[in-house]
Amino acid sequence: MTGAVSLPFWMVALLVAFATIGVVDRIFAPSVRWFFRRRVNQAIDELNQRLDTRIQPFRLTKRQTHIDRLIYDPKVIEAVDAEARATGTPRAVVMKRAERYAREIVPAFSVTTYFGFGTKAARWISEFVYRVRLGYSDDEALKAIDPEATVVFVMNHRSNMDYVLVTYMASSRASLSYAVGEWARVWLLQNLIRSMGAYFIRRNSGDELYRKVLGRYVAMATREGVTQAVFPEGGLSRDGLLKEPRLGLLSYMVAGFEPRSSRDIVFVPVGLNYDRVIEDRILTAKAEREVTGRDFRVRTGSIMGFIWNLVKLRWQGKLYRFGYACVSFGRPLSLAAWQKSNGVDFASPDRERMFDGVQRLGNDLIAAIGEIVPALPVALASYVFLENGERWISEFELKSAVFGLIKHLEGRGAHVHIPRADRDYAVSSGLRMLTLRHLVVVNDEWLYRANANERLLLSYYANSIAHLLKH
């Protein structure tokens, strides 16, 4: 019993490694996890004291728990059974598909990633590209929102920069959960986006099971008080005009809402506008091809060259950036109050009646967003140049026309962003942007007019305020 036992070196090394892993797992790991969990909880408590809208426990729950809750939700199970019966597919196979959809949709929110990296990166990127300004904001009404309500920021969709800009501008108010399209489902980027609390959606999906899983996740997150940010238009505007509301996500949020038993949902309208939308050529490419025959294509080399040129100009102190980007926050709209005043029943078993209520709500939200979209210098100048057609005008005439336009808009209650509170400077900055991009041409007598080859792009910017000028 006391004799020596001879073992090969590789086996001894393997036993030592397993023993070390066991000691670390059972003795040291719990202490380390407790330490980091304590630090995270302290950080969350500090953030909740600073933010207007608290981070809800739902967002801090493990991702796998949400996936399990979602795939075993009674309505998802019902949809799985219906799909299996209708197609003759084994139930286990359909259930596996539902699980795949749940894993695709459910985010993995990280407080450290969102506040330690995300909001700082959003601020740096926003201020590198634009002169960022806060337009109109009803601060008292925003602070008066019931802390137990689910807050949903609803905004117009001008650019993919909207995600970055609003994350930055709302960083002192809340952590936002976005619905992001499939364009962002690429390696590494999708992991970062998930850790920022965003969830992926397949737009225009005809898969009934997928829509049910997505709908149940959105309903679950809304019921649990997750602060969300959505684009009622459903996609980017390709002509600059405000679009009709798409009702999918909105219907998932409000379906079954009962003022007496449900957590209230408060919609905060957000209006965004830019002096230059980074992807404007891409957005208008189809219309450009149809109208002029010119074909604009995105090439990797040209993108890299464009980015490098921006960086070089910034280092040289010659970068004007892309003009102004402005965000306005409107008066919050309580769903409970709206439902009462409009006599709508979102819990009605009559689907047509319920859908009609969602349509009315969507129209009201789009109208509320439209009211606070800020009018910026480039949009104002573009409108005037288009109004003058082929006529050459002086800078003085341009300023006179823009001043009249500003007076008209302000008389209608619109929000006009005037940089430095100086109207002369506002017009000059808009004119500079348009001439630098050759959207406006100048002759030897220093007279200006719209570039005939760029009228489509000028219309894109003028259209951003077209709804404010309707009679």
* 108-152 pLDDT tens trace: 888 778 888 888 899 998 998 899 999 998 888 888 888 889 999
Q: How is domain 377-468 classified at the architecture level of CATH? A: Orthogonal Bundle (1.10)
Helix (H, G, I), strand (E, B) or coil at 168: helix
With 0-12 / 13-18 / 19 or more C-beta atoms within 10 angstroms meaning exposed / middle / buried, residue 137 is: middle
Chain-wide mean pLDDT for the chain?
Answer: 85
What ranges do the domains of the chain cover?
Answer: 104-278+324-372, 377-468
332: its two tokens: 């919050």
Q: Do domains 104-278+324-372 and 377-468 have the same CATH topology?
A: no
Lowest pLDDT segment from 34-48, 188-202, 362-376: 34-48
**C-alpha dist (Å) from residue 404 to 94, 101, 187, 224, 381:** 62, 53, 51, 48, 12
Q: If you average pLDDT over residues 242-266, what whole number do you get?
A: 90
Q: Are 135 and 327 in contact (CB under 8 A)?
A: yes
Distance CA 215, CA 208 (A): 10
Query: Residue 110, Cα to own-chain centre: how many angstroms?
Result: 18
Q: Tokens 């070196």 label which residue? A: 9
Backbone angles phi, psi at 326, to 5 degrees: -130, 140
Answer whether residue 165 shows pLDDT above 70. yes
| Per-residue b or e along 194-210, where b marks 16 or more CB atoms closer than 10 Å to that residue's CB | bbbbbbbbbeeeeeebb
104-278+324-372: CATH number: 3.40.1130
Paired tokens of 89? 């597919």
Please say if the pLDDT value at position 31 is more than 70.
no
**Cα separation of 465 and 241, whole Å?**
8
pLDDT digits (tens, 9 = 90+) for 290-312: 777 776 666 667 667 777 877 77
pLDDT tier at 24, thresholds 50, 70, 90: low
Share of the chain above pLDDT 70, in %: 86
Per-residue confidence (pLDDT) for residue 188, from 0 to 100: 66
From 1-15, 206-220, 366-380, the region with the lowest mean pLDDT: 1-15
Q: What is the pLDDT of residue 48?
A: 43
**Segment among 192-196, 211-215, 279-283, 325-329 with least mean pLDDT:** 192-196
State residue 417's pLDDT score: 94
Amino acid at 109: F
What 3-state DSSP class applies to 340?
Answer: helix
Q: CA-CA-CA-CA torsion for 229, 339, 244, 169, nearest 10 degrees? A: -20
Note the pTM of the prediction, 2 decimals: 0.85
pLDDT of 59 over the 60 cut: yes
Residue 344 structure tokens: 């709508």
367: which 2 tokens? 């109208």
Does 14 score more than 50 pLDDT?
yes
Helix-helix angle 395-411:423-436, to 10 degrees: 120
Higher pLDDT among residues 16 and 234, named by residue: 234
CA distance 467 to 471: 9
Residue 413 structure tokens:
């209650």
Average the pLDDT over 377-405 and give the result.
Answer: 96
Quote the CA–CA distance of 467 and 414 in Å, as a whole number.
Answer: 10
Strands 324-329 and 265-274, sheet pairing: antiparallel
DSSP 8-state assignment for residue 374: P
CB neighbour list of residue 422: distance below 8 Å, 6 or more residues apart? none
Which residue carries 């979602």 as its tokens? Answer: 70
Least confident of 32-46, 85-99, 318-332: 32-46
Helix, strand, or coil here: 260? coil
Bridge partners of 266, per DSSP, are: 151, 334
Give the per-residue pLDDT at 39: 44
Contact 237, 283 (CB under 8 A): yes
Quick check: 195 pLDDT over 90?
Answer: no
Rounded Cα distance, 297 and 281, in Å: 9
Which residues, including other chains, have CB under 8 Å from residue 367's CB and lie 6 or more apart? none
